[in-house]
A and B are shown apart, each in its own frame.
Chain A
């Protein structure tokens, strides 16, 4: 269990995208998603694909990592493609057998929808998960949502909980391993038997793990209190987020991309039906 969940899918790097302000990235991703859903024609999708390639190149992330990230999506992709090919009705009949009718429009639709899903995943993961640490994301979210504090939504507390959760994941994984080894040394068997038997074998791991997690939480709370933690009120930060010109440029760039997409939607032989 050598997973480093704390850093999620984060790929170390020092690209322009890595250096972007996390707040700008969150806004950029939201804008980008809107833009992707605006695209309807082949020309517009062509532009978006080009933009995605530029993003990947800018981030300096190896294409193999991104392709690997697409793997879990294969099933959904296949499913939508098949569904679109067989169920979209159009005017140009390509193939007919018994009750199956395949129209040209269906094939086009299938292709564009698949492309849309791939683009969504590639651009959001390049902009966010691959180039931003979960901590930076949490900080960015806290600051973006801070106006909500006015209506008494505990934004700081949520972000503190996220930070602590991220901090303790590796510690608890280590602890789980220790407990598992201790139980194995006493003759516990986790790998054979029926599903129910195996699930039952996990109870002697979960109980001590929970007890220890509560004890840790208690000690951490005391330690935090001793370090004068009283919640978000009156707290400052060492690393203040600074929006640079590049962050504004990135967001404007995405808006321009959106304008381009809307424009290109007018020039297209085929338009996506939804």
Chain B
């Protein structure tokens, strides 16, 4: 498999008022992401996860180190605006607040906004818009006004707008954070589908453990560093480490951990409630 992203020794500090010590949002971070994978980036507020997303989508540029996109270094001095634009055709970004990413007053026109910017012929735009709306299950709302939709629906429209541009990689910057549980589930299902069925590389930035569990790989960030990096099973079987970074663990892991503390012989890396129940039942019967 080839490499989609690579960051090397990445550092970034937000400009601060004079006299104040600069706050280092990212501190010498290195990792790479394979094409077609589903990576969740977890972290507490201020851990640098959103800054990282902005680096990868070329909204911010690093102070030190480099961002590589498909084998191309995007952090050298000779990167022109055109190179950035070309890169943006490959990397899509969905933001936290759906209200602030919808441009048009009609759902389908908003989905068409990206393809229109690419200068595609009208029939092609039409085809992509219909396809994208069908993929997020919003076809029946095509002619609706966005402000009358629910948060989850708005976010789905925003995602359709990215799908319609046929990006091979999409970064979701806390796209589920402002949604209610129903909306969150809808959006998560779409994100998962995009990765599994359309083979789009997904970077999902979140602070919900239940969402991170659905990824292939979890990167945990803490104060600008990478704290842990591995499969969900590897990461969540070390609850003490996560708690130390002020993060929760999935409820099943928390329960199993507490049971293990009391001497019950159970595995920690189980995230499905039913599996968790049978694991506990099996452990009790073993006693």
Contacts and interface: CB of A to CB of B under 8 A. Distances in A.
Contacts of A220: 100-101, 103
Interface in A162-220: 163-164, 166-167, 170-171, 174, 216, 219-220
Interface string A211-246: 000001001101111111110001111111000000
Contact of A227 (B105, B119, B145, B165): B165
Interface residues of B, number: 39
B85 interface: yes
A6 B147 contact: yes
Contacts of B147: 6, 167, 170-171, 174
B117 A228 contact: yes
A262 interface: no
A171 B109 contact: no
Interface string B106-135: 101100111111111110011001000000
Contact of B100 (A135, A219, A237, A238): A219
A222 B120 CA distance: 22
Interface string A127-168: 000000101000000000000000000000000000110110
Contacts of A240: 122
Contacts of A135: 104-106, 109
Interface in A1-19: 6-7
B88 A228 contact: yes
A237 B161 CA distance: 14
A164 B161 CA distance: 16
Contacts of B119: 234-236
A223 B89 contact: no
B271 interface: no
A223 B129 contact: no
Interface residues of A, number: 30
Nearest to B146: A167
B69 interface: no
Given A171-B147, A235-B117, A238-B126, A228 B85 contact: yes
Contacts, number: 95
Interface string B59-86: 1000000000000000000000000010
A239 B85 contact: no
Interface in B139-154: 145-147
Interface stretch (B4-12, B35-43, B91-99, B242-250): B91-99
B88 A226 contact: yes
A165 to B, nearest CB: 10
Given A219-B95, A236-B119, A227 B57 contact: no
Contact of A6 (B95, B105, B112, B117): B105
Contact of A228 (B104, B106, B165): B165
A167 B145 CA distance: 9
A242 to B, nearest CB: 11
A216 B99 contact: yes
A229 B101 CA distance: 12
Nearest to B145: A6
Interface string A57-86: 000000000000000000000000000000
A226 B92 contact: yes
Most buried by B among A163, A225, A230, A240: A225
B151 to A, nearest CB: 12
Nearest to B118: A228
B122 A219 contact: no
A227 B109 contact: no
Contacts of A223: 93, 95, 100-101, 103
Given A167-B104, A219-B101, A237-B122, A227 B113 contact: yes
13 contacts: A6-B145, A171-B147, A174-B147, A219-B95, A220-B101, A223-B100, A225-B88, A228-B88, A228-B118, A237-B116, A237-B122, A238-B108, A238-B109
Closest 3 A/B residue pairs (Cβ) = A223-B101, A238-B112, A219-B100
Given A226-B57, A227-B117, 14 more contacts: A6-B147, A170-B145, A171-B99, A216-B100, A219-B101, A220-B100, A224-B103, A224-B113, A229-B117, A230-B85, A235-B116, A238-B116, A238-B126, A239-B109
Interface of B: 57, 59, 85, 88-89, 92-93, 95, 97, 99-106, 108-109, 112-122, 125-126, 129, 145-147, 161-162, 165
Interface of A: 6-7, 133, 135, 163-164, 166-167, 170-171, 174, 216, 219-220, 222-230, 234-240
